[in-house]
């Protein structure tokens, strides 16, 4: 177990180094940082002085090393646009994105797994057909269209829910949460549904396919032959086996929910890192972009690590290798 | 009461309504099994053996339908019960043992979990009582240290041990009837004998009736009291084992029994050849293969590395031109690894393979010649042919890759090869799934022959086939050998097949060649203990009085 985790950690570090390298290359070579920082009327000597002070004349590896050590201390440079540390900008916006991602991921997971099980067990029922057909809509409609559609129905026509922003938020330490006020929760509903819809249909279809596969397997037949009731077979034996591959895909999907909430955040004017990223791209705010890239990399690597450990816990075949044989 | 049979099946009919019309899988099957009796059900694949078992226990796969007939269990009719009543009956009054012990246990639950769950489903016991019962069942089934291993997962047991667990599960609630569907076909001979004994002992002690479904007559001969031969959904013949095997009445039974290879020498022995008389065509010297048992470099750095696993350890033998060398051993003995190294598919850790004077792994220029001269036939004809390719293409591929012919000549060659393996050349337009297992293996042979090889490595070429088909394929292989002067390395776990086909034989045990020599000498006077054990474990029809 220890070796397993250590090996995975080691691989994670390598992945993060590669991500850092790419972030650094963007930071350093997409446009000249001095040109971005200095105004039109800065004298050439001053520009050269800035170059010296920022170490831009140092060899490549020295600069990369400095970038790395700064990054480890949370220092990604100053946003060109807002003149604030890029890291702080991201951290300010992060709670909004995480709250949105967690709610929609939970929604996707719970509903997706439940509907997946239902459609697998009652494959021929009318309701399954309806769910399967609707899920095609969920997979094929682009996120922004779903978002705009929901806004039109529930915010514009019915006027039940707010169409944008986070509503009233409460500051808890550095974390700004929308969970504690009614308007915050109401604001969360539409974007969360929008963001979760695609994942939900994906998880549902995956669970359904896996479950149907497992239900055909020998040990399920044998469980029936042992006279176990359907409830035990379906929810104890089949479900646990279904979840093994589902964990992997779901984990990766969760990563993309956090990382790529960009579209949803833009549609709903959600003050998260996604919308920050979009405005930064428009303003060529390279430090923020590089920081965002590092953050997304970290999210994916962490989730992958957690998924691997979960896998290890669920499947005993991975736990004890070579023993008893 | 003793007059009522435990299981009585009358005129059972099972239909499969398919799009292309109705398929009658079982047609008027009738039989009885008395308490404590073992009824062996034999027949080839598709005969309806397993279907009969599934119909009795009420687990027909859709769209299969129980169309007509009656099933009585100890006098009560059970085919008319509701699904819920049937479910209460499964496991409690009818137990089942399935074919593949590797897949019939849920891999994510400990065997204790699965046993306790089954016991508590059918008996009013507390968790602790059920656990005690589980342990005693496992002990009865011959699992050593049952108390210590009850919380182990299925993958921590070997195939034979797993099948014992499955048997313990099947008898967990003392059923009146156990349906064993090919309980030993996935196991090695030596393990097979033990598992059969466990099944027989347990059922005899409890007076349980057993319906034993198998394609292996040898198993039936060892354990069954009566035998029922099935073919194409009908019962061909029923009777006491000795009578049916010694004096079969029906043509089908006669044919089935005559196609079973026996381990005793039948017919003429091949003319004895003094050792070394023919020049060695294939020479294997000190072959070794290590597999990295995992862990990776980090484990090694931390001192937790696993030493490499030596799958093949110093194996040497020679095959004369035009002869057949048989390699036997149980699963995991390194047979297939040897075959792959000799065929040039995986690189040996040490040792030499010399084919026709060329070292397979040293001379790089020899690679092309080797690919032409050495071919391989694999075990599973369902997996070894590309399902998306037409048969003609599959057979033509080696010809094309090796540049042996061009244009329309290729097609002529393919047609010729198909005729050689007794198939109509017209089939080259078809896809593999349109053929039966035996026909597919013929196609695989045709593909192996297409490069005009001199040496063919056959890795369990008939173990996926029915006995009658096996006999045909083996006959074909012998004929082709005579016709083209082929040299075979024949790998099999079936000692009878080796006896009929090979001139010389080698016995592999845990990667070591424990014995090697002329087949008659070794089979009649085995020197190594392991060989003797293997030979003793083989169930043989000749032993039936």
Please check whether residue A148 is in contact with residue A138, taking contact to mean a CB–CB distance below 8 angstroms: no
CB contact under 8 A, A223 and B169: no
Mean pLDDT of B359-386: 78
pLDDT in the model for residue B540: 67
Q: Is the ipTM of this complex over 0.90?
A: no
CB contact under 8 A, B106 and A223: yes
pLDDT in the model for residue B271: 53
CB contact under 8 A, B59 and A226: no
Residues A271, A272, A276, A279, Cα dihedral to 10°: -50
The helix or strand, by DSSP H or E, that contains position A136, with its residue range, turns out to be: helix A126-140
**Residue B467, phi then psi, degrees to nearest 5:** -60, -45
Mean pLDDT of B206-229: 86
* DSSP β-ladder status, B38-42 and B209-213: parallel
User: Rounded to whole angstroms, how far apart are CA atoms A229 and B378?
Assistant: 41
| Structural domains of chain B, with CATH | 33-62+82-258 (3.40.50.300), 322-347+363-543 (3.40.50.300)
Q: Is the pLDDT of residue B464 over 80?
A: no
Please check whether residue B290 is in contact with residue B306, taking contact to mean a CB–CB distance below 8 angstroms: no
Chain Cα centroid distance, residue B45? 12
**A141 min Cα distance to partner chain B (Å):** 34
From residue B272, give the alpha-carbon distance in Å to each of A152, B269, B280, B489, B527: 93, 8, 16, 19, 19
**B509 min Cα distance to partner chain A (Å):** 16
Sign of CA dihedral B485, B486, B487, B489: negative
User: Rounded to whole angstroms, how far apart are CA atoms A169 and A178?
Assistant: 5
CB contact under 8 A, A227 and B100: no
Q: Which two tokens stand for residue B152?
A: 């182990």
Chain B partners within 8 Å of A234 (Cβ): none
Q: Which two tokens stand for residue B30?
A: 């009738």
- pLDDT tier for residue A323 given thresholds of 50, 70 and 90: very low
DSSP B220: H
C-beta neighbour count of A102 within 10 angstroms: 15
* DSSP β-ladder status, B512-518 and B209-213: unpaired
Chain A partners within 8 Å of B119 (Cβ): none
Sign of CA dihedral B108, B113, B114, B115: positive
pLDDT in the model for residue B1: 43
Residues A21, A22, A28, A29, Cα dihedral to 10°: 130
pLDDT in the model for residue B89: 87
Among partner residues B91, B103, B156, which is closest to A227 by beta-carbon distance? B91
Chain B partners within 8 Å of A224 (Cβ): 59, 87, 90
User: Rounded to whole angstroms, how far apart are CA atoms A139 and A204?
Assistant: 11
User: Rounded to whole angstroms, how far apart are CA atoms A34 and A44?
Assistant: 11
E-strand ranges in B152-304 read: 177-181, 209-213, 226-231, 234-240, 280-291
Chain A partners within 8 Å of B302 (Cβ): 3, 6
- Non-local (6+) Cβ contacts of B5 within 8 A are B32, B33, B34, B35, B72, B209
Kindly report, residue by residue over A251-289, the tens digit of the pLDDT: 877 777 876 688 888 888 888 888 888 888 887 777 888
**A321 min Cα distance to partner chain B (Å):** 9
Mutate to test the interface with A, among B55, B101, B107 (most CBs of A within 10 A): B107
**What angle in degrees, to the nearest 10, is found between the helix axes of B467-484 and B437-449?**
20
Q: Which two tokens stand for residue A110?
A: 């719970």
Among partner residues A10, A225, A316, which is closest to B57 by beta-carbon distance? A225
C-beta neighbour count of B158 within 10 angstroms: 17
Mean pLDDT of B279-306: 71
Q: Which residues of A touch B (CB under 8 A)?
A: 3, 6-7, 10, 217-219, 221-230, 232, 237, 240-241, 244, 314-317, 320-325
Most confident by average pLDDT, A65-69, A155-159, B134-138, B263-267: B134-138
**B108 min Cα distance to partner chain A (Å):** 6
- pLDDT tier for residue A324 given thresholds of 50, 70 and 90: very low
E-strand ranges in B460-535 read: 487-491, 504-509, 512-518
User: Rounded to whole angstroms, how far apart are CA atoms B463 and B460?
Assistant: 6
Kindly report, residue by residue over B27-57, the tens digit of the pLDDT: 888 999 988 889 999 888 778 888 898 888 8
Q: Which two tokens stand for residue B459?
A: 């890795």
- Non-local (6+) Cβ contacts of A69 within 8 A are none
CB contact under 8 A, B299 and A314: no
Among partner residues B92, B156, B304, which is closest to A320 by beta-carbon distance? B156
Among partner residues A10, A241, A323, which is closest to B298 by beta-carbon distance? A10
Burial B440-470 (b: 16+ CB within 10 A, else e): bbbbbbbbbbbbebbbbbbbbbbebbbbebb
Identify the three-state secondary structure at position B304: coil
Give B345-372 as a DSSP string.
Answer: SS--SEEEEEETTEETTT-TTHHHHHHH
- CB contacts < 8 A (A, B): 105
The helix or strand, by DSSP H or E, that contains position B42, with its residue range, turns out to be: strand B38-42
**What angle in degrees, to the nearest 10, is found between the helix axes of A86-121 and A126-140?**
150
| Structural domains of chain A, with CATH | 2-72 (no CATH), 90-319 (1.10.3720.10)
Look over chain A and give the mean of its residue pLDDT values, rounded to a whole number. 81
**Residue B28, phi then psi, degrees to nearest 5:** 70, 50
Q: Which residues of B touch A (CB under 8 A)?
A: 57, 59, 87-92, 95-96, 98, 100, 103-110, 117-118, 121-122, 149, 152-153, 155-158, 166, 169-170, 172-173, 293-296, 298-299, 302, 304, 306
User: Rounded to whole angstroms, how far apart are CA atoms B443 and B32?
Assistant: 42
Q: Is the pLDDT of residue B88 over 70?
A: yes
- pLDDT tier for residue B341 given thresholds of 50, 70 and 90: confident
- Non-local (6+) Cβ contacts of B320 within 8 A are B273, B277, B278, B279, B280, B281, B487, B503
**Residue B250, phi then psi, degrees to nearest 5:** -90, 150
Which residue in B has a C-alpha nearest to residue A244's C-alpha?
A: B108
CB contact under 8 A, A227 and B298: no
User: Rounded to whole angstroms, how far apart are CA atoms B329 and B358?
Assistant: 28
CB contact under 8 A, A225 and B117: no
Mutate to test the interface with B, among A219, A221, A239, A317 (most CBs of B within 10 A): A219
Which residue in A has a C-alpha nearest to residue B153's C-alpha?
A: A316
From residue B231, give the alpha-carbon distance in Å to each of B61, B98, B133, B235, B470: 20, 21, 40, 7, 17
Among partner residues A6, A227, A244, which is closest to B121 by beta-carbon distance? A227
CB contact under 8 A, B106 and A241: yes
CB contact under 8 A, B106 and A237: yes
- pLDDT tier for residue B270 given thresholds of 50, 70 and 90: low
**A305 min Cα distance to partner chain B (Å):** 17
User: Rounded to whole angstroms, how far apart are CA atoms B439 and B445?
Assistant: 10
The helix or strand, by DSSP H or E, that contains position A172, with its residue range, turns out to be: strand A170-172
Mean pLDDT of B469-482: 87
* DSSP β-ladder status, B309-320 and B280-291: antiparallel
Chain A partners within 8 Å of B150 (Cβ): none
DSSP B452: -
Which residue in A has a C-alpha nearest to residue B149's C-alpha?
A: A324
**A132 min Cα distance to partner chain B (Å):** 22
Which of the two residues, B261 and B412, has the higher pLDDT score?
B412
Which of the two residues, A29 and B535, has the higher pLDDT score?
B535
Chain A partners within 8 Å of B106 (Cβ): 219, 223, 237, 240-241
Which residue in B has a C-alpha nearest to residue A232's C-alpha?
A: B117
Identify the three-state secondary structure at position B29: strand
**B103 min Cα distance to partner chain A (Å):** 6
Please check whether residue A21 is in contact with residue A60, taking contact to mean a CB–CB distance below 8 angstroms: no
Q: Which two tokens stand for residue B211?
A: 């319906």
Residue of B17, B85, B71, B23 lying closest to B48 (CA atoms):
B23
Please check whether residue A4 is in contact with residue A305, taking contact to mean a CB–CB distance below 8 angstroms: no
Residue of B105, B108, B218 lying closest to B169 (CA atoms):
B105
- pLDDT tier for residue B172 given thresholds of 50, 70 and 90: confident
In sequence order, the β-bridge partners of residue B375 are B456
- pLDDT tier for residue A322 given thresholds of 50, 70 and 90: very low
Among partner residues B87, B157, B293, which is closest to A229 by beta-carbon distance? B87
Least confident of A164-178, B86-100, B404-418: A164-178
pLDDT in the model for residue A319: 66
CB contact under 8 A, A228 and B91: yes
Mutate to test the interface with A, among B84, B94, B106, B294 (most CBs of A within 10 A): B106
pLDDT in the model for residue A308: 83
Which of the two residues, B63 and B129, has the higher pLDDT score?
B129
Share of chain B above pLDDT 70, in %: 92
Cut 0.80: pTM above it: no
End-to-end Cα separation, chain B, in angstroms: 32
User: Rounded to whole angstroms, how far apart are CA atoms B150 and B112?
Assistant: 5
Cis peptide before B63 (omega within 30 of 0): yes
**A286 min Cα distance to partner chain B (Å):** 38
Half-sphere exposure (Cβ direction) of B317: Cα atoms closer than 13 Å = 26
Look over chain B and give the mean of its residue pLDDT values, rounded to a whole number. 84
Least confident of A265-269, B236-240, B260-264: B260-264
End-to-end Cα separation, chain A, in angstroms: 19
Residue of B182, B155, B249 lying closest to B41 (CA atoms):
B182
- pLDDT tier for residue B228 given thresholds of 50, 70 and 90: very high
Q: Is the pLDDT of residue A325 over 70?
A: no
Q: Is the pLDDT of residue B531 over 60?
A: yes
Please check whether residue A89 is in contact with residue A272, taking contact to mean a CB–CB distance below 8 angstroms: no
CB contact under 8 A, B296 and A223: no
User: Rounded to whole angstroms, how far apart are CA atoms A204 and A113?
Assistant: 6
Chain B partners within 8 Å of A321 (Cβ): 294
- Non-local (6+) Cβ contacts of B108 within 8 A are A240, A241, A244, A314, A315, A316, B153
User: Rounded to whole angstroms, how far apart are CA atoms B349 and B337?
Assistant: 12
């Amino acid at each position: 177990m220890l070796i397993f985790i250590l090996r995975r950690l080691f691989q994670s570090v390598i992945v993060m180094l590669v991500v850092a390298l790419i972030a650094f290359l963007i930071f350093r070579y997409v446009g000249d940082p001095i040109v971005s920082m200095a105004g039109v009327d800065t004298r050439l000597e001053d520009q050269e002085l800035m170059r010296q002070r920022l170490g831009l004349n140092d060899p490549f590896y020295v600069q990369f090393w400095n970038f790395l050590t700064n990054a480890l201390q949370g220092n990604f440079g100053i946003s060109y646009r807002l003149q604030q540390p890029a890291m702080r900008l991201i951290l300010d916006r992060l709670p909004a994105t995480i709250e949105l991602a967690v709610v929609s991921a939970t929604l996707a997971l719970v509903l997706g797994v439940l509907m997946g099980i239902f459609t697998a067990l009652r494959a021929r029922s009318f309701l399954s057909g309806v769910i399967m057909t609707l899920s095609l809509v969920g997979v094929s409609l682009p996120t922004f269209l779903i978002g705009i559609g929901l806004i039109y129905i529930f915010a514009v026509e019915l006027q039940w829910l707010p169409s944008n922003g986070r509503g009233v938020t409460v500051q808890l330490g550095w974390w700004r949460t929308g969970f504690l006020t009614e308007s915050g929760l109401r604001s969360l509903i539409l974007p969360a549904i929008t963001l979760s819809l695609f994942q939900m249909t994906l998880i549902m279809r995956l669970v359904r396919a896996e479950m149907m596969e497992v239900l055909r397997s020998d040990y399920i037949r044998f469980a029936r032959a042992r006279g176990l009731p359907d409830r035990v077979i379906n929810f104890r034996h089949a479900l646990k086996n279904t979840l093994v591959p589902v964990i992997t895909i779901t984990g990766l999907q969760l990563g993309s929910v956090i990382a790529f909430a960009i579209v949803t955040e833009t549609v709903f004017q959600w003050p998260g890192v996604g919308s920050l990223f979009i405005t930064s791209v428009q303003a060529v705010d390279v430090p923020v972009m590089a920081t965002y890239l590092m953050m997304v990399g970290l999210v994916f690597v962490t989730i992958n690590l957690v998924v691997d450990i979960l896998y290890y816990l669920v499947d005993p075949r991975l736990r004890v290798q070579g023993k008893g044989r | 009461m003793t007059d009522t049979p435990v299981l009585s099946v009358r005129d059972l009919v099972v239909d499969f309504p398919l799009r292309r019309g109705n398929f009658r899988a079982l047609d008027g099957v009738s039989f009885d099994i008395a308490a404590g009796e073992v009824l062996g059900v034999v027949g080839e694949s598709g005969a309806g053996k397993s279907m009969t078992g599934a119909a009795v226990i009420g687990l027909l796969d859709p769209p299969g339908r129980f169309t007509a007939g009656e099933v009585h269990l100890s006098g009560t009719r059970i085919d008319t019960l509701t699904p819920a009543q049937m479910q209460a009956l499964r496991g409690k009054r009818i137990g089942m043992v399935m074919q593949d012990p590797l897949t019939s246990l849920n891999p994510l639950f400990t065997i204790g979990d699965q046993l306790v769950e089954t016991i508590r489903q059918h008996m009013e016991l507390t968790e602790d009582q059920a656990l005690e019962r589980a342990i005693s069942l496992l002990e009865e089934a011959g699992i050593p240290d049952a108390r210590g291993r009850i919380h182990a997962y299925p993958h921590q047991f070997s195939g034979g041990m797993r099948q014992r667990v499955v048997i313990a599960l099947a008898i967990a609630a003392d059923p009146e009837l156990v349906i064993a569907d090919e309980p030993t076909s996935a196991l090695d001979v030596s393990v097979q004998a033990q598992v059969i004994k466990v099944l027989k002992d347990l059922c005899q002690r409890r007076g349980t009736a057993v319906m034993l479904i198998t394609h292996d007559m040898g198993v039936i001969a060892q354990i069954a009291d009566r035998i029922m031969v099935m073919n194409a959904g009908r019962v061909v013949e029923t009777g006491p084992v000795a009578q049916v095997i010694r004096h079969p009445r029906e043509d089908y039974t006669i044919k089935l029994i005559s196609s079973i290879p026996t381990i005793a020498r039948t017919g003429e022995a091949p003319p004895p050849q003094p050792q070394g008389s023919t020049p060695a065509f294939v020479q294997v010297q000190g072959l070794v293969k290590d597999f990295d048992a995992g862990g990776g470099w980090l484990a090694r750095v931390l001192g937790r590395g696993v030493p490499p696993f030596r799958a093949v350890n110093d194996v040497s033998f020679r095959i004369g031109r035009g002869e057949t060398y048989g390699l036997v051993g149980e699963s995991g003995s390194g047979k297939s690894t040897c075959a792959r190294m000799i065929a040039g598919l995986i690189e040996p850790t040490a040792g030499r393979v010399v084919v026709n004077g060329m070292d397979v792994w040293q001379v790089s220029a020899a690679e092309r010649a080797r690919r032409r001269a050495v071919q391989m036939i694999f075990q599973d004809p369902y997996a070894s042919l590309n399902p998306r390719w037409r048969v003609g293409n599959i057979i033509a591929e080696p010809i094309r890759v090796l540049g042996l012919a061009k244009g329309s000549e290729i097609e002529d060659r393919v047609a010729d090869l198909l005729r050689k393996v007794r198939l109509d050349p017209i089939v080259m337009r078809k896809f593999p799934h349109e053929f039966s297992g035996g026909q597919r293996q013929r196609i695989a042979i045709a593909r192996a022959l297409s490069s005009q090889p001199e040496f063919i490595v056959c890795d369990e070429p008939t173990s996926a086939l029915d006995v009658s088909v096996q006999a045909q394929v083996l006959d074909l292989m012998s004929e082709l050998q005579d016709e083209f002067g082929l040299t075979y390395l024949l790998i099999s776990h079936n000692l009878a097949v080796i006896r009929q086909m090979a001139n010389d034989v080698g016995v592999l045990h845990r990667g070591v060649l424990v014995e090697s020599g002329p087949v008659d000498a070794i089979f009649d006077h085995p020197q190594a203990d392991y060989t003797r054990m293997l030979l003793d474990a083989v169930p043989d029809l000749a032993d039936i009085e």
